[in-house]
Amino acid sequence: MPVKVQQHNLAGHEDDPCNIPSEQFSKLGCANSPKSTFPRTSTEEFCTGTSLSKDVANNTKNKNKNVFRDGPVVIELFAGSGRLTAALKSCGVHSAFGVDHKKLSSIAPIMLADLTTRAGQALFMTWMDAPNLAGIFAAPPCGTCSLARNIKIRGPKGNIISGPVPLRSPKFPEGFPNLANTNLKRVLAANKLYDFLSKVVLKANDRNLIFVIENPRSSLFWLTKFFQRIKHLFTFVAHQACAYGSERPKWTALAVNRPEFLQIKLT
């Protein structure tokens, strides 16, 4: 039987136009120049909606069976619309697939798993046991970590209107101590994902897998204890999204464990 999980209202990816102030770069172990490198509700079912579902279900029962037969496997963790997976497939990585708590598009196979639950995390770990897994690309949800929440929003007449409130700060990167209700639930859910991501990184490191983590350069995710415990495993590089085809400026940081990714640095 499919595993039923309770849905969480997680924030999705948000563009973040802010830059981390210079004094925060020292905490990341980074240079303070913008051009320098530095360091996602009803119920869902697992393993539904993709051509990989049957194979993955079989692999859960028999971890030693190689169900991914078509070359190397790359997993896009917190995949969203799965654009990276689609790009990998177009480049010949046919066994690439994404993982997220809901499917946002049909351009790539997305395996469904609520990674805020033990069942979802255990399932993902079985996928990591694929013998020809080559690497993982992770873009953890950054909505609760966005410094854009500090920007005052003005209406058509110039008056300040209500908008998303800050949920974290450099002093409280895991969330303000006075959070309550929906905001508290969102931060706790995001923190569960960040904690799980750190465990995934450590397991991947033991297998010497390729690993890339993406977030806005100014995201407070980089300052959380969950990332800080794995920071030493990565090198960091930043780039401007508009230099790679985006229609507006957006600084993005990549934490990488292979030097080849350091070429992604156009500004």
The overall average pLDDT reported for the chain is 78
Structure-token pair, residue 112: 């469904």
Mean pLDDT for 257-262 is 96
- Band the pLDDT of 70: cuts 50, 70, 90: low
Which pLDDT value is given to residue 20?
41
Mean pLDDT for 156-178 is 86
Mean pLDDT for 69-83 is 89
Q: Which comes out higher in pLDDT, residue 10 or 177?
A: 177
Cα–Cα distance, 116 to 136 (Å, whole number): 18
Cα–Cα distance, 175 to 192 (Å, whole number): 12
Which pLDDT value is given to residue 68?
53
Render the burial of 94-127: b for 16+ CB within 10 Å, e for the rest: ebbbbbbbbbeeeebbbbbbbbbbeebbebbeeb
pLDDT digits (tens, 9 = 90+) for 55-65: 444 444 444 34
CATH numbers and ranges of domains, the chain: 4-32+39-263 (3.40.50)
Which pLDDT value is given to residue 69?
54
Q: pLDDT exceeding 90 applies to what percent of the chain?
A: 60
pTM of the model: 0.74
Which pLDDT value is given to residue 13?
32
Which pLDDT value is given to residue 29?
37
Mean pLDDT for 76-103 is 94
Which pLDDT value is given to residue 255?
97
Mean pLDDT for 170-190 is 96
Place of tokens 């300052």: 223
Q: Which comes out higher in pLDDT, residue 110 or 35?
A: 110
- Asked if the model's pLDDT at residue 192 lies above 80, the reply is yes
- Band the pLDDT of 103: cuts 50, 70, 90: confident
Mean pLDDT for 91-118 is 93
- Asked if the model's pLDDT at residue 32 lies above 90, the reply is no
- Asked if the model's pLDDT at residue 139 lies above 80, the reply is yes
User: Are residues 123 and 113 in contact, defined by beta-carbon separation less than 8 angstroms?
Assistant: yes
